[in-house]
């Protein structure tokens, strides 16, 4: 059996169409399946649409959060309840067609336990694509698994990987990156991508930034080690600078000009120090969250 997990945040306009196309696709594939919709605190009537879908289709299960916790929390909640041997995640906005699930499953061959969709031609604003490009580079580097598209959420995971993801939630919220650290083999399949038909992206800048920071510090100590190395380098440079100034003072006399040059150099280092503090704070913050052990989400309703 396969489980389809769909995070939903104010998607009432596309849910009916999505359910129809999804069911059609799975029927053609001859797959026994369940569809788990996770309502991430929608306020546009998505809940009513989901209740209706549940009433008409036994394969539909619904989990509802009490408020908005974010796409990745929703995906994890869906995975937690999924019963399938394979879990496929899919966005609710139909930017990725459900029809591409077939090729995705076909790529899940021997030795491959994660298959990612790759949006070769993307229909998103260029700023969004630029951000994704950066995220891909960072994710590939920190996870150590090169992928063209970490951001595409049309993906398939084997049960074994899903278990590992659930067991290591504290590490990161970024499900595709987390999955790749546990996968024996990963594959990528080119999938279609269209513009959003109803409304704009449900992602704000703040949430994207949050996710990038999470990615940066969730998988390695590399960022903080780079800062330490920079610190060592700067100290050596500073020492050389002091030597030169000392010699100059003995040979030529005291220097008074160039004070503002010194200021600008100082500002660079002040900036570096603040960056270093921020990075340390980011790691400490992670420890704090781990220690606090607050539940990552609260479920208010389950239909199954
Ligand atoms: N989503 C969610 N919670 C959020 C934001 C988004 O569950 O806080 C869902 C949304 O309903 C959609 C998917 O995550 O099914 C991807 O969101 P969106 O299409 O807005 O992201 P984009 O395509 O712009 O990356
Ligand atoms: Mg989208």
Domains of the chain, residue spans: 2-220+297-303, 222-292
Nearest ligand, measured from the Cα of 71: 1
Please list the helix, strand and coil fractions of the chain in percent, rounded to the nearest 5, in that order.
55, 15, 30
Residue 107 pLDDT level (bands cut at 50, 70, 90): very high
Instruction: Provide the pairing of β-strand 155-158 with 114-119.
Output: antiparallel
CB neighbours (10 Å) of residue 69? 21
Buried b (16+ CB within 10 A) or exposed e, 111-137: eebbbbbbbeebebeeeeeebbeebbe
Ligand 1, atom nearest to 201 Cα: 20
Mean pLDDT over residues 295-302, rounded?
Answer: 93
- pTM over 0.85? The answer is yes
Residue 173 pLDDT level (bands cut at 50, 70, 90): confident
CA of 8 to the centre of ligand 1 (A): 7
Token pair belonging to 151:
């951001």
**Assigned architecture for domain 2-220+297-303:** Alpha-Beta Complex (3.90)
By the 8 A CB rule, do 200 and 13 touch?
no
**Looking at the predicted structure, is the pLDDT value of residue 132 above 90?**
no
| Residue 24 confidence (pLDDT) | 96
Q: Is the shortest distance between the CB of 176 and ligand 1 below 6 Å?
A: no
**Looking at the predicted structure, is the pLDDT value of residue 108 above 80?**
yes
**Looking at the predicted structure, is the pLDDT value of residue 151 above 80?**
yes
Residue 115, helix vs strand vs coil: strand
Mean pLDDT over residues 12-41, rounded?
Answer: 96
| Residue 172 confidence (pLDDT) | 83
Q: Which is higher by pLDDT, 300 or 279? A: 300
By CB neighbour count within 10 A (0-12 exposed, 13-18 middle, 19+ buried), where does 259 fall?
A: exposed
Q: Is the shortest distance between the CB of 93 and ligand 1 below 6 Å?
A: yes
Cα separation of 12 and 110, whole Å? 38
| Residue 128 confidence (pLDDT) | 84
Mean pLDDT over residues 44-73, rounded?
Answer: 96
CA of 71 to the centre of ligand 2 (A): 11
Ligand 1, atom nearest to 11 Cα: 11
CA of 231 to the centre of ligand 1 (A): 40
By the 8 A CB rule, do 8 and 92 touch?
yes
Q: Is the shortest distance between the CB of 178 and ligand 1 below 6 Å?
A: no
């Amino acid at each position: 059996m396969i489980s389809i997990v769909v995070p939903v945040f104010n998607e009432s306009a596309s849910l009916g169409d999505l359910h129809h196309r999804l069911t059609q696709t799975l029927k053609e594939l001859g797959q026994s399946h369940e569809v788990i919709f996770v309502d991430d605190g929608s306020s546009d009537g998505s809940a009513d649409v989901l209740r209706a879908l549940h009433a008409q289709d036994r394969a539909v299960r619904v989990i509802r959060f009490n408020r908005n916790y974010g796409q990745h929390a929703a995906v994890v909640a869906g995975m937690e309840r999924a019963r399938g041997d394979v879990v496929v995640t899919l966005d609710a906005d139909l930017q990725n067609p459900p029809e591409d699930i077939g090729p995705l499953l076909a790529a899940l061959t021997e030795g491959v336990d994660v298959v990612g969709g790759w949006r070769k031609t993307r229909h998103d604003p260029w700023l969004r694509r630029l951000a994704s490009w950066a995220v891909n580079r960072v994710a590939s580097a920190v996870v150590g698994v090169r992928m063209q598209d970490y951001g595409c959420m049309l993906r398939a995971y084997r049960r074994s990987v899903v278990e590992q993801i659930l067991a290591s939630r504290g590490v990161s919220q970024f499900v595709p990156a987390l999955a790749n650290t546990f996968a024996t083999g990963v594959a990528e399949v080119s999938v279609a991508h269209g513009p959003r038909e109803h409304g704009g992206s449900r992602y704000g800048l703040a949430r994207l930034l949050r996710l990038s920071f999470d990615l940066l510090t969730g998988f390695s100590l590399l960022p903080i080690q780079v800062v330490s190395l920079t610190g060592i380098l700067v100290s050596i440079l500073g020492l050389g600078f002091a030597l030169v100034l000392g010699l100059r003072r003995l040979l030529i006399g005291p220097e008074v000009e160039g004070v503002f040059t010194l200021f600008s150099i100082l500002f660079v280092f002040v900036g570096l120090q603040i960056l270093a503090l921020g990075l340390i704070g980011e790691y400490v913050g992670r420890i704090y969250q781990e220690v606090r052990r607050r539940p990552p989400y609260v479920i208010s309703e389950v239909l199954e």
